[in-house]
Structure 1
Amino acid sequence: MELKDFTIPFIGLKEGKHQFDYQIDNSFFELFNFDEFNATAVKATLEFHKKQTMLELTFNASGTVNVHCDLTNEPFEQPVEGTLDLIVKFGHEYNDENEEILIIPHGEYEINVAQYIYEMIVLSVPSKRIHPGIEDGTLQSEILEKLEELQPGTEKKETKEEIDPRWNTLKKLLTDNK
């Protein structure tokens, strides 16, 4: 997979709607030196509407990315769904400061959409990645068991018996002053 695979020569397209489909896997993310996904299986579609004075692009993505759980470090399939709308206008110089409007110079005849597909997929993955087995209790993991053991409020009763007797004397001083 190469970046040029995502270049659309719109000058040769008739006015109207056109659809482009892309199968996104990890080789796509390697183009951006992005390695947070173990595996990727996402279908991205682009509805490309060519008008006389501008282009309207609607990106959609759905599929899964395999990531590590933030709590247990267990890998799991994270579903992703994303959409992105982009209007491309023609102007004197290139300008991508507005995230919804791209201005390209008059005379341009093609556009590369890889960056927009990349951003749409990466932003559709939750920032906190939690294995679904944690929520429904089906995940069995040593890390998860250790986290539950170390959770505050689950102190063992044995620790109460092992209190140093000097602390009891200090506690008595606090209660005597009331």
Structure 2
Amino acid sequence: MDKYNHLTLDFTHPPKQPESYSFHLDDDFFDQVEASELLGGDVDLQLTVSPLTANRFKLTFGYSGVVSVECDRCLAPMELDVESEDYVEVILGSALDDENDEEITLDAQNPVYDFSWIAYELLALSLPSIREHEDISECDPEVVSHLTMDPPAENNAHDPIWAELKEKINKNKNNN
């Protein structure tokens, strides 16, 4: 992550009142983060640093835009709208500790930190867990053709197990 310092904040002179910063997360950002969950995007990030005490701050990550992800059904790229807000607390302490997702301790002697990875993770966590095209007709037709529930055409056509399965599928379709 050192090669992408787009979201580096310096707490050498911590703010006494809330300060806001605007960032734009585009395809270059997502490429440089080197994570595969988000394929790209066009997202505006409003990052607000609010002092809670002299050495404790609340960072508010406000996202608005569109990200590209893989469809869980057909694996083709698709776009999802993003509108979310998340928080992280920063403490100026004696040593760097960024293992906790909700609270980061920065070394007060070196209080410069790149929040790019955290911004990426919070954005990814804000997305729905199931990501599919709204309508199956938007999916890759070749992949969808392999998702049908028809039994194999071979010698199993008269197998009672396939007949029972087909009956249950039809029953479920009729109930919906």
2: distance between equivalents of 1:110 and 1:61?
23
2:4 aligned residue: 3
1:144–1:73 CA distance, 2 compared to 1 (3 A): same
Q: How many residues align?
A: 154
Out of 54, 59, 80, which is 1:78 matched to? 80
1: distance between equivalents of 2:143 and 2:72?
11
Relative to the length of structure 1, the TM-score reads 0.71
1: distance between equivalents of 2:115 and 2:139?
39
1: distance between equivalents of 2:70 and 2:94?
45
Query: Where does 1:84-163 land on structure 2 (aligned, <5 Å)?
Result: 84-134=86-136, 141-148=141-148, 151=149, 159-160=157-158
**1:50-93, CA deviations, whole angstroms, 9 ceiling, x for partnerless residues?**
34222211112122222232222332212234432111112221
SS in 2 for 1:126: coil
Pair 1:62-2:60 in alignment: no
- Long gaps (5+) in structure 2: 160-176
* Residues 37 and 124, structure 2, Cα contact 8 Å, conserved in 1: no
Relative to the length of structure 2, the TM-score reads 0.71
1:16 aligned residue: 17
C-alpha RMSD of matched pairs (Å): 2.8
* Residues 151 and 157, structure 2, Cα contact 8 Å, conserved in 1: no
1:131 Cα deviation from its structure 2 partner: 1.1
1: distance between equivalents of 2:95 and 2:14?
23
Identity of aligned residues (%): 25
2: distance between equivalents of 1:154 and 1:83?
48
* Residues 88 and 101, structure 1, Cα contact 8 Å, conserved in 2: yes
**1:126-154, CA deviations, whole angstroms, 9 ceiling, x for partnerless residues?**
343211112xx665723324423xx1579
* Residues 26 and 37, structure 1, Cα contact 8 Å, conserved in 2: no
2:168 aligned residue: none
- Long gaps (5+) in structure 1: 164-178
2: distance between equivalents of 1:105 and 1:12?
13
